[in-house]
């Protein structure tokens, strides 16, 4: 079963941005490019139910889109995503989704993408290492207060670039995790404030770091 996580493409983009000084600034949750597909069946098909709004919103607008929905306006949203052809195996993955174990990794990937975008154009290796330490500390942290809100699956037929030729038929399974915004902010602030640079920073480096910290939650 091929496993994919929501932030994989964002992390890849983050690595590119951090290694390329001329790269443009990017938000952690940029507009998603969605391959053309049709839904053959979904979790609520048997009861003639609809696809939840959060699922459609996530597919096209990512986490920020879901967070903009009235129901989640005071929440940070993280979606675990897995794909495969075996629905039973995917159900087991969703049932075994461990918020305590998986959330810190998902949050750290989002933090990494955020820092990479904020620091685009900075050639300062010391500042880069400082932010890398923060990302590692977040990944190692125990984040509390999050909950697995719900999950949903779609059985999709994907098409190739011509929009007509079948590419694959596959199940996409989504697990929605939410956490109160202020609760997560307090925990992230503690991790960020506790991070130490490998060696004392210059005044210019400190100014650059402080500027990023001040704008950290903008577009997070």
Do 161 and 196 touch, CB atoms closer than 8 A?
no
Quote the pLDDT of residue 17. 32
The structure's pTM equals 0.75
Quote the pLDDT of residue 118. 57
> Percent of the chain having pLDDT more than 90?
47
Pairwise pLDDT comparison (113 vs 83), residue with the higher score = 83
Quote the pLDDT of residue 31. 58
Average per-residue pLDDT for the chain: 82
**What is the distance between the alpha carbons of residues 60 and 44, in angstroms, rounded to a whole number?**
20
Nearest of 58, 76, 94 to residue 188 by alpha carbon: 76
DSSP 1: -
Which bin fits 61, alpha (ψ -120 to 50), beta or left (φ > 0)?
Answer: alpha
Confidence of residue 22 (pLDDT cuts 50, 70, 90): very low
Burial 34-56 (b: 16+ CB within 10 A, else e): eeebeeeebbeeeeeeeebebbe
Nearest of 15, 9, 23, 219 to residue 121 by alpha carbon: 23
DSSP-based three-state secondary structure for 180: strand
Q: Which of 22-31, 60-69, 111-120 has the lowest mean pLDDT?
A: 22-31
Confidence of residue 206 (pLDDT cuts 50, 70, 90): confident
Burial 169-184 (b: 16+ CB within 10 A, else e): ebbbbbbbbbbebebb
Confidence of residue 91 (pLDDT cuts 50, 70, 90): very high
DSSP-based three-state secondary structure for 88: helix
């Amino acid at each position: 079963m091929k496993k994919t996580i929501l932030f994989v493409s964002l992390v890849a983009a983050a690595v590119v941005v951090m290694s390329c000084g001329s790269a443009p600034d990017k938000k952690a949750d940029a507009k998603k490019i969605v391959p053309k597909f049709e839904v053959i069946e979904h979790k609520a098909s048997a009861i003639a139910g609809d696809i939840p709004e959060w699922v459609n919103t996530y597919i096209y607008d990512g986490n920020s889109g879901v967070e903009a929905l009235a129901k989640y306006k005071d929440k940070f949203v993280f979606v675990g995503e897995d794909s495969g052809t075996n629905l039973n195996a995917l159900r087991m993955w969703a049932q075994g989704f461990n918020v305590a174990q998986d959330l810190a990794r998902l949050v750290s990937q989002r933090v990494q993408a955020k820092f990479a975008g904020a620091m685009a154009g900075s050639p300062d290796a010391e500042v880069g290492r400082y932010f890398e330490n923060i990302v590692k500390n977040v990944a190692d942290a125990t984040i509390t207060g999050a909950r697995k809100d719900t999950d949903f699956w779609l059985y999709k037929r994907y098409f190739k670039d011509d929009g007509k030729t079948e590419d694959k038929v596959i199940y996409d399974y989504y697990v929605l995790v939410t956490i109160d915004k202020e609760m997560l902010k307090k925990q992230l602030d503690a991790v960020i404030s506790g991070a130490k640079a490998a060696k004392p920073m210059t005044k210019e480096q400190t100014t650059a770091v402080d500027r990023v910290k001040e704008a950290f939650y903008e577009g997070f």
